Structure 1
Amino acid sequence: MKHLRFLDSHQLRDHTFPRHGEKKFGEAVQLISKLEDLNSKDFRYVIVGIMEDIGVRANLGKPGCAQTFQYLLSPLCNIQVNRFLDASNIALGPVLDFKELMDEVRNLDQNRAADLQRLREVTAQIDESVSALMEAIAKAGKIPIVIGGGHNNSYGIIKGISQARKSDIDVLNIDPHADYRALEGRHSGNGFSYAREEGYLGRYAVFGMHESYNNQDILEKFRASADLYYLTYDELLTFSTEERDRLFKDALRWLGPGPIGLELDMDSITGFPVSALNASGFTMRQARTLVKTAAALASPYYFHLAEGAPALATNATEAELSAKAMVYLITDFIKSHQAEA
């Protein structure tokens, strides 16, 4: 599979700092060294890195989310393995590393029509690798937790899992943007519209969408379809915490009783370096609660953390906090998901 690479034990040791009498995640997590390990090794969750920000550029956005997985490794490898977290049930890797394509398009200007078109063509190439890997993971009965890259990768994830299951899948997206833009060539703003157009996405709900950052065409499409639903962040401001939690559970019920795909765009959370900064969004505590609730109640097929960009941090402390925040969200998902299994 093109662009696929695997972590080895030496890389893991470089990111793990052992301490006598303790067990760190990097010492206990399983490693995948070949695709066949998906079927031959005994684990339930696989943490996958996607290293690209071409799809964000193809959406006229700000690059910076390509290195998220690398920023994540040290804080992830050094969390404690204890009665709250069984790392032996988790595998780390593989990684889809699109450095070759990133280098190819590095000097393209997204403000030039021809260059923008090329960025969108390359994003479609990325789709093929993402969907092939997700299909392999889903066929092996594993739960992918996908880190990094732009939200364009929602399309490849949904397509791959849909093909493995031979049916469309329903998805909940916690995001200021519906990412349901026109079918104008692939980019980070139309992963869900392409997935639905091609029959991979069934029902689709957006929770916490921002009224000022979604165009009228998107709103009309949601209004016209019984399979599309949103609740805006602006509306949620008028509700208490208890009412907001109830509305989130209502959105999960609207999607139906079966498992869903779970998406969280890091720009739904205020205060972290991301591809599109959010001046008014969920707190980290609120985001963790939403992830824990969805993981427990909806038995997701996958969890996708998109567009976090520690590389855009203004200092090292901010970058570290961003990476640690994503580690919390990953472990929240796993703990709540396996508790419900």
Structure 2
Amino acid sequence: MDKLKIYSQSEINNLIIYRDGETKLGEKVEIYRHSEGDSSSTVAISFESLMKSKAKFVLLGIPEDIGIRANAGIAGASTIWRPALMAFLNIQSNRFLHGEEILVLGHFEIEEPEDSSIGGLRNKVVDIDDLVFPVIEKIVSAGKIPIVIGGGHNNAFPIIKGTSLAKKQAIDVLNIDAHADLRKQEGRHSGNGFTYALAENYLNNYFMYGLHQNYNNEEILNQNETNPKLKAVFFDEILKCANDKDFFFGIGSTAGLEIDLDCIQNVLSSAETPSGFAVNDIRKLILTSKREFSYLHISEGATRLLDGRVSKLTSKLIAYLVSDFIKAQV
């Protein structure tokens, strides 16, 4: 059965590499603790228990690549959550980032569908949507900021939905991505999360930063020109040193931040690219942001892809991006 697995302290401890004279983030982070009368089920969390936490950020994973396969992509995004969590928990706890700001909640356990056809995979993505959004809604309603590590970019939809329901309004989203993910409503997959979020009025203004001209179809380009809610800066224009500073000023105060790792050059993902942002471009963008985002979602990264490609660096990259985000928000 699909469920949210909530971590115990011992499960966190097993991921920490201890060293004399050092303290790691994992030794300082909170775990979710049930209140008196709260269900002990791993399926549900309570608003009241989240409210009692002193942490500002709630970290959780969605280790699946069903949505990517439903979009004819290469499987592998299911491999990133545990290595990324381990890399993050073994960051030093020090004056720059202590660890008490963070509650490590757990991850979603998602079973493979019996029907592995494209249609079966897309039906399964709907089940994932319904599993994820109520958890995000509770986290945001409790005044916390979810940090979600995927998984495919299909999970943008339930994260946006949960945040929107908690905020009781459609939200803006900044998506740093090579692809707009505005494909047709043809069944849920990693390429149309924002399409569904717009259609169901959970997404207000959609800001796309770093799109690649070569990898967005003409229909999507037409949408960007005709829909006033869609605002895009192409990576090709950034290479020409186009002034894009005004682009970020219109982003609303309840915006979410999406980072698809396929926008960064030579990072292992289903759509790995040799041309894209440098890692430090993205780190600088996060660290210099002067706004508080409602959530962070990092998607599409992998440590191992089905075609045999492997990278041990993706997990450490995610640890950098998550720690940068927290430092910029506190």
State the TM-score, normalized to the length of structure 2.
0.92
**Counterpart-to-counterpart distance in 2, 1:174 and 1:157:** 16
Q: Does the 8 Å contact 2:113/2:121 carry over to 1?
A: no
Unaligned runs of 5+ in 2: 35-44
Equivalent residue for 1:272, pick from 263, 267, 271: 267
* RMSD over equivalenced CA pairs, Å: 1.8
Question: Deviation string for 1:117-166 (max 9, x for gaps)?
Answer: 11111101100111111101111110000001100000000000101111
Aligned to 2:326: 334
Q: Does the 8 Å contact 2:56/2:144 carry over to 1?
A: yes
More helix by share: 1
Q: Residue 182 of structure 1: SS of its match in structure 2? A: coil
User: In structure 2, do the counterparts of structure 1 residues 81 and 313 end up closer, same or farther at CA, with 3 Å as the change threshold?
Assistant: farther
Q: Structure 1 segments of 4 or more deviating over 3 A?
A: 313-316
**Counterpart-to-counterpart distance in 2, 1:183 and 1:81:** 45
Matched, 1:236 2:210: no
Residue 177 of structure 1 aligns with an amino acid whose one-letter code is H
**Counterpart-to-counterpart distance in 1, 2:306 and 2:269:** 8
Aligned to 1:58: 70
Aligned to 2:6: 6
1:52-131 to structure 2, matched below 5 A, reads 52-98=64-110, 100=111, 102=112, 104-105=114-115, 108=116, 115-131=117-133
Identity fraction in percent: 41
Q: Residue 170 of structure 1: SS of its match in structure 2? A: strand
Give how far 1:313 is off: 9.4
Residue 255 of structure 1 aligns with an amino acid whose one-letter code is I
Give how far 1:254 is off: 2.3
**Counterpart-to-counterpart distance in 1, 2:315 and 2:109:** 19
Give how far 1:2 is off: 4.9
Give how far 1:270 is off: 0.8
State the TM-score, normalized to the length of structure 1.
0.89
Residue 322 of structure 2 aligns with an amino acid whose one-letter code is I
Q: Does the 8 Å contact 2:74/2:306 carry over to 1?
A: no
Unaligned runs of 5+ in 1: 109-114
Matched, 1:301 2:297: no
Q: Residue 206 of structure 2: SS of its match in structure 1? A: strand
Q: Does the 8 Å contact 2:254/2:293 carry over to 1?
A: yes
Q: Residue 328 of structure 2: SS of its match in structure 1? A: helix
Q: Does the 8 Å contact 1:43/1:88 carry over to 2?
A: yes
**Counterpart-to-counterpart distance in 1, 2:210 and 2:219:** 18
Aligned to 1:253: 249
Question: Deviation string for 1:214-245 (max 9, x for gaps)?
Answer: 11111111111111111111111111xxx6xx
**Counterpart-to-counterpart distance in 1, 2:124 and 2:239:** 39
Residue 75 of structure 2 aligns with an amino acid whose one-letter code is P
Residue 78 of structure 1 aligns with an amino acid whose one-letter code is N
Matched, 1:289 2:284: yes
**Counterpart-to-counterpart distance in 2, 1:24 and 1:319:** 24
**Counterpart-to-counterpart distance in 2, 1:103 and 1:185:** 15
**Counterpart-to-counterpart distance in 1, 2:239 and 2:168:** 39
User: In structure 2, do the counterparts of structure 1 residues 314 and 12 end up closer, same or farther at CA, with 3 Å as the change threshold?
Assistant: farther
How many equivalent residue pairs? Answer: 318
**Counterpart-to-counterpart distance in 2, 1:217 and 1:33:** 48
